[in-house]
Structure 1
Amino acid sequence: MSTVRYVCASEAAAMLGISVTTLYAYVSRGMLRSAPDANSKRRLYDEDEVRRLARRKKDGKRAGKVAQKVLDWGVPVLESSITLIADGKLLYRGRDAMELARTATLEEVAALLWECSARRVVAAPAAPLAAAQWSAWLKLWSDSAPLDRALVLLPAAAAQMPRVWALGRDAQLDNACALIRLLAGAMILAAPSNDPLHRQLASAWGVRNRAQINLLRAALVACADHELNASTFTVRCITSTGAHLFGAVAGGLAALSGPRHGGETARVAALFDEAARAADLDRYLATRLAHDEQGATAPVISGFGHPLYPDGDPRARLLLDLLDECASSRSPLADVQRLARTVRDTTGAEPTVDYALAAIERVLGLPAGAAFTLFATGRATGWIAHAMEQTADGRLIRPRARYIGAYQVNREVV
């Protein structure tokens, strides 16, 4: 039986070529585990786990130089012209996403991402389904959570669409437009409509204030795409097998259901509830941080600290600013802002888009799960763009695995 060999923080940091402070950040992000030292207050690290992480880091540095031709059976790097995250900014096809979020509708951003005219998106048929059939489906699944409902109804709708497998440009765009409207309808229990999606959500949630409706619009645009996150990579993998658009997006929704991706907004909502009940917010956060430091695999505080934005998530910054401008005087905005300040003062971490979406839900008094609906509805437009790009590429995504288990040499297991 092999014995685990542990190293101290300074040794682990040296093996990884990072500072001890960065090592602690790796632990907080779930990239590395630590264990208590029985003879001191230090934390120790499994040497084999540290070495595996060092190899992954080395591969990651090489990955950006890997040619596209090895994608089928090589390191999973995808060339894409859709979204760029660099220098603290998020760009959709070269345009600042936050500037778009200030004025554009999700339909206009969809046109940008799908490389068609905005009129083409707005004027497309809402969905080639009988209204009575869709209504019956909604009634049947009305007691389900929005995500569960969407996961059932999108495949059901696809089975009724005559051109769901068509690969022509017009058919692709018709399917894309129908898909985002059916998704929104499934999430909010409404008939598919050509009305702007932010207005559909506002109507379903009883939001009538113009500035608050504008905030919903901005949130959808800010969530439209975020490069190759887990759900988007899932969509591209499914598309590469030749699956149709509805199947690929259903796969993205399934990936989004995990607590460490789309489920993060629900975790932030729970954080709000816990913080509101705490008699002493500083003590509550200190206790939570002390507990999580003992090996949690999730971020230390849900909704804070995005690895791609060391200086703060620009999506959260914009949405929280807009929320500040339109919140009513009786809303819990002050509590939301105080929590963000306290976490920042305690950990140095800035809010992420998940925090902002959950704040919008709480401050505007939206139904539980509205933050997730905003995220999923917005993100579907980016998934569709990636699916279209992957279809045009035409190759199967099949990366290789690095085997790290035991193997036999001369019949001896080593």
Structure 2
Amino acid sequence: MSSYMTAAEAAAALGISRATLYAYVSRGMLTSVPADAANDSGRQNAPPSDHPSRPQSRRYAAAEVRRLARRKADGKRAGKVAQKVLDWGVPVLESSITLIADGKLFYRGQDAIALARHASLEEVAALLWECPPRRVLEASAAPIAVAQWSAWLKLWSAHSPLERALVLLPSAAAQMPRIWAQGRDAQLETGTQLMRLLAAALVGAAPSSEPLHRQLAHAWGVRSRAQAELLRAALVLCADHELNASAFTVRCITSTGMHLFGAAAGGLAALGGPSHGGETTRVAALFDEAAHADDLHRYLAQRLAADEFGATPKLPGFGHPLYPGGDPRARLLLDLLAQHASARSPMDEVDALAHAVAETTGARPTLDYALAAIERVLALPRGAAFTLFAAARVTGWIAHALEQNADGRLIRPRARYVGKFAGESGDER
């Protein structure tokens, strides 16, 4: 079996005309080599060369042609659609939790921006979980002894909020007597306890039934009521964002029958990645670099020019694919932050960077930028931006888990195999 095909053989294998074959090459879908080069490669069965001035004198790697043929076959079975839906594409499953449309965000049909102006995270959790607010506010405390929790916190006090939470959630799960219960009431109680324990683990404090924005304000020494209200608004806007990586992870884990604590631990791990909630750390680093730049515009030009060797330039915290006109969550939070920032805060630096990036690239700030700005301007502990994100997003994960449980089906997509088969190795002689 030859490792190369003629144009006629490749076109026949793909079920296309030679003109389409040459178009595939020009679009980068296939590569070709001169026939003489194929002959010189030592493959004894390479076909004889056509006239060198003709396209037919090119040869096509057989393995590459067969991989493309398999992709085309999958395409007829919606394989191409499946690939597109995993990358900011068309919807992949049905949900009644969150809608992102026309530059707006809705929780159960209610405008999230409007909710952020007055609602608490607990009220939004009740909305997302479809239960009365008092069910969240009056849930019983987690059955974990204060001494036990304090001992755990002491062991992990030197670690980051993410690391501490990833350890303490499974530890707490082992203490929960109703963690596997599937009844609606038990699930709501477990969800509320999970929400409180995660927040406590993130900030390194004892679990509390106090509204979460007040817990964070107390842990971070925020005494201004207006600034505490800013934390409340940020939590509401972080509660859910449709089928992002962490929510999809939670749904996949839940679909296997895993309990809420296990699903949330998976969601937390996904959230911590630098392309998800962990982007807040990258934005914080961007703030540090920009603050030390002698010329902000020159710094941005150099930063963008060096970005990933020709890839589309992208700065952390800017440009959201689902909000071409700008992330409304960031817009509200930055407006509120400007209203409540102290005179000596670095708010001017935050605004200057956002304006400079807009002038340079046209990109607008995202939620990650706004959260990192809150951390910087209010002088919160390092990692507070991620804590805001994670402490709030667990409410959305719980809503997705409850919805997935009600659906009852295992999430099990298929993969398109593009590897080698026996006889297609490049080592053929």
**TM-score grouping bracket, smaller chain normalisation:** 0.7 to 0.9
Q: CA 1:60–1:227 in 2, change beyond 3 Å: closer, same or farther?
A: farther
Aligned to 1:34: none
> Per the alignment, in what secondary structure is the counterpart of residue 117 of structure 2?
helix
Distance 1:340 1:155 in 2: 39
> Residue by residue, what CA displacement relative to the aligned partner does 1:58-99 show, whole Å, maximum 9, x if unpaired?
969846999xxxxxxxx9821100011111011101111111
Aligned to 2:399: 385
Letter paired with 1:263: G
Letter paired with 1:158: A
Aligned to 2:217: 202
Match of 1:321 among 327, 335, 343: 335
How far does residue 139 in structure 1 lie from its aligned partner after superposition?
A: 1.2
> Residue by residue, what CA displacement relative to the aligned partner does 1:220-254 show, whole Å, maximum 9, x if unpaired?
00000001111110000000000000000000011
> Residue by residue, what CA displacement relative to the aligned partner does 1:106-130 show, whole Å, maximum 9, x if unpaired?
0000000000000110000131211
Q: What is the RMSD computed on CA atoms of the aligned residues?
A: 2.8
Aligned to 1:307: 321
Structure 1 stretches of at least 4 aligned residues deviating more than 3 Å after TM superposition: 11-15, 54-66, 411-414
Letter paired with 1:253: L
Distance 1:343 1:130 in 2: 49
Letter paired with 2:421: Y
Aligned to 2:281: 266
Aligned to 1:216: 231
> Residue by residue, what CA displacement relative to the aligned partner does 1:119-152 show, whole Å, maximum 9, x if unpaired?
1100001312111111111111111111111111
How many matched pairs? 362
Uncovered stretches (5+) of structure 2, i.e. residues with no partner: 5-21, 31-63
Distance 1:355 1:238 in 2: 29
Distance 1:85 1:126 in 2: 34
- Contact 1:88-1:309 at 8 Å conserved across structures: yes
Aligned to 1:178: 193
How far does residue 405 in structure 1 lie from its aligned partner after superposition?
A: 2.3
How far does residue 12 in structure 1 lie from its aligned partner after superposition?
A: 5.1
Match of 1:348 among 351, 354, 362: 362
Aligned to 1:149: 164
* Aligned ranges 1:334-373 → 2 under 5 Å: 334-373=348-387
Letter paired with 2:224: N
Letter paired with 2:369: Y
Aligned to 1:255: 270
Distance 2:352 2:156 in 1: 39
Aligned to 1:37: none
How far does residue 404 in structure 1 lie from its aligned partner after superposition?
A: 2.0
Distance 1:172 1:333 in 2: 42
Letter paired with 2:358: R
Structure with larger Rg? 2
The farther-off stretch of 79-88 and 57-66 is: 57-66
- Contact 1:179-1:246 at 8 Å conserved across structures: yes
* Aligned ranges 1:154-173 → 2 under 5 Å: 154-173=169-188
> Per the alignment, in what secondary structure is the counterpart of residue 85 of structure 1?
strand
Distance 1:329 1:172 in 2: 46
Whether 1:242 aligns to 2:269 is: no
The farther-off stretch of 337-346 and 284-293 is: 284-293
> Residue by residue, what CA displacement relative to the aligned partner does 1:369-407 show, whole Å, maximum 9, x if unpaired?
000000001100000000011111111100011122233
Uncovered stretches (5+) of structure 1, i.e. residues with no partner: 16-47, 67-74
Distance 1:57 1:136 in 2: 55
Aligned to 1:288: 303
Aligned to 2:148: 133
Aligned to 1:189: 204
The TM-score normalised by the length of structure 1 is 0.82
- Contact 1:64-1:77 at 8 Å conserved across structures: no
Distance 2:405 2:165 in 1: 23
Q: CA 1:65–1:285 in 2, change beyond 3 Å: closer, same or farther?
A: closer
Aligned to 2:294: 279
- Contact 1:76-1:399 at 8 Å conserved across structures: no
- What is the aligned-residue identity percentage? 72
- Contact 2:79-2:416 at 8 Å conserved across structures: no
Whether 1:229 aligns to 2:244 is: yes
Distance 1:308 1:207 in 2: 33
